[in-house]
Amino acid sequence: MKHVFCINSPINYLSMRSVIDYKNINLKDVIVLIKRNHKFDWEQVKSFPLPTIPELFKTSNLSQIAKIKYTVLFLVKFLFWIIKIKKITGFLRFELYIPTSHPIDWNLLSGRFFSKCFSYIDEGVLYYRKDIDHNIQQKVPLKLKIVYFGLLKIQRTWFTKEAKNSYVFSNEVINFLPNPIILNFNKTISHFKLNSTKEIIIAIDGCSTYNDPYGCTLQHHKTIINEVAIHIKQKYGEDVNISFKLHPKQYNSELEFKTFRELLKHHFPQINELSKETVLETYLNNENKIIFTGISSLSFYAYILNSPVYSFLFKFSNVCQNFSINNLLKMYPNGYIEFLKRNQI
């Protein structure tokens, strides 16, 4: 049987590796579908990009003739994508492993042309929130049904009990997660070679203009990162070996990645930018790395391992009340917030 994983973040990648190890899956049977141009360093497995909805459905600048033209082109490309994936899987039903944060992909992959058997894989701090309404349903617009050949039945947000299993890294999961199987996170990251480079790492999170769930603007975010940079200079000096990594979504906004690159290079001209495929979670418990992070799943996995990172999450409370300690306690396990409070800058 083939095993198909949908990957859109470093933690999905680690989850995939854990599931493969847990179920002793032959790498020849592994196929990876990539979301938002995510990259990972594992040559033994085959990867393919997921089809994405054309921008023409998000803008009214094009004429109707142009929209029809691009729609037909997308339909043809999508049909060839279906045939390609089905040929790779031998035209058989396969075991499917998906995150939950992309409901369109969820419907696409669980459609009648693909696999009815699927499981969830861990994708970050989202899995450990207390306040998620887990089974929201809404109708899909007709134009999207047409584009995806009617594959989109019901658009589900977050979780559905139809999942066979849920592979997660902690038993502090939300209580309605279907059939949770707890994976050994420490064992998973132990497979990666220890990086001996001594450095400070700033993990830029996704809370800015492109990904703005809490009302934090790019200027707010820039101000916070500026404070973090000043703190690092005062504590460690200007000549410290320092790196940074952008959030995957920020590569979709030229303004965002340009803003943070210029800001950090202003403070640290020698700063190194880590590649997209760098999995910062594998640096946890590495005494050579000092990590600063904000609204990031990285801090939650640090909590699971009891591996301190410096959090600037509470800096966001100056901008938005959603990040007050009281509100965070309503959303996440109490121990997690206490852990962050002990290690905030």
Same domain (yes/no): 182, 217: no
Q: Which of 80-89, 145-154, 196-205 has the highest mean pLDDT?
A: 196-205
Position 309 pLDDT exceeds 70: yes
The band of 14, judged by pLDDT with boundaries at 50, 70 and 90, is very high
The band of 38, judged by pLDDT with boundaries at 50, 70 and 90, is confident
pLDDT value at position 78? Answer: 73
Cα gap 313→293, rounded to integer Å: 7
Using a pLDDT cut of 90, give the percent of the chain over it: 35
Q: At what angle do helices 297-305 and 334-342 cross, to 10 degrees?
A: 90
- For the ranges 44-53, 136-145, 236-245, the lowest mean pLDDT is seen at 136-145
pLDDT value at position 274? Answer: 93
Among 131, 155, 189, which residue terminates a domain? 189
Position 147 pLDDT exceeds 80: no
The band of 135, judged by pLDDT with boundaries at 50, 70 and 90, is low
pTM of the model: 0.84
CB 14 within 8 A of CB 123: no
Cα gap 125→296, rounded to integer Å: 7
CATH number of the domain where residue 300 is located: 3.40.50
Cα gap 157→122, rounded to integer Å: 15
Position 151 pLDDT exceeds 60: no
Same domain (yes/no): 243, 317: yes
Per the structure, how many domains does the chain have? 2
Same domain (yes/no): 185, 211: no
Same domain (yes/no): 123, 158: yes
Q: Per the domain annotation, does 13 fall within a domain?
A: yes
Same domain (yes/no): 226, 166: no
The band of 189, judged by pLDDT with boundaries at 50, 70 and 90, is very high
- For the ranges 49-58, 274-283, 307-316, the lowest mean pLDDT is seen at 49-58
Same domain (yes/no): 45, 141: yes
**Which domain covers residue 253, as residue numbers?**
199-342
- Average pLDDT (42-59) is 70
Q: Which helix (H) or strand (E) holds 334?
A: helix 334-342
Q: Per the domain annotation, does 334 fall within a domain?
A: yes
Using a pLDDT cut of 70, give the percent of the chain over it: 81
Look at the block and give the residue holding tokens 């990031």. Answer: 296
- Average pLDDT (52-77) is 67
Q: Per the domain annotation, does 38 fall within a domain?
A: yes
- Average pLDDT (9-14) is 89
Same domain (yes/no): 106, 214: no
Same domain (yes/no): 252, 282: yes
pLDDT value at position 284? Answer: 94
Position 101 pLDDT exceeds 60: yes
Among 168, 189, 210, which residue terminates a domain? 189
Beta strands 135-138 and 155-158 are: antiparallel
User: For residues 213, 179, 173 and 169, what is the CA-based torsion angle, rounded to 10 degrees?
Assistant: -100
Same domain (yes/no): 184, 296: no
Please give the C-alpha separations between residue 253 and each of 102, 114, 250, 309, in angstroms, as whole numbers.
19, 32, 5, 27
pLDDT tens digit sequence for 255-284: 888 999 999 999 999 999 998 888 999 999
Q: Per the domain annotation, does 177 fall within a domain?
A: yes
Residue 311 or 64, more confident: 311
Same domain (yes/no): 175, 46: yes
Same domain (yes/no): 176, 227: no
Look at the block and give the residue holding tokens 């029809």. Answer: 68
Backbone phi and psi for residue 179, each to the nearest 5 degrees, phi listed first: 45, 65
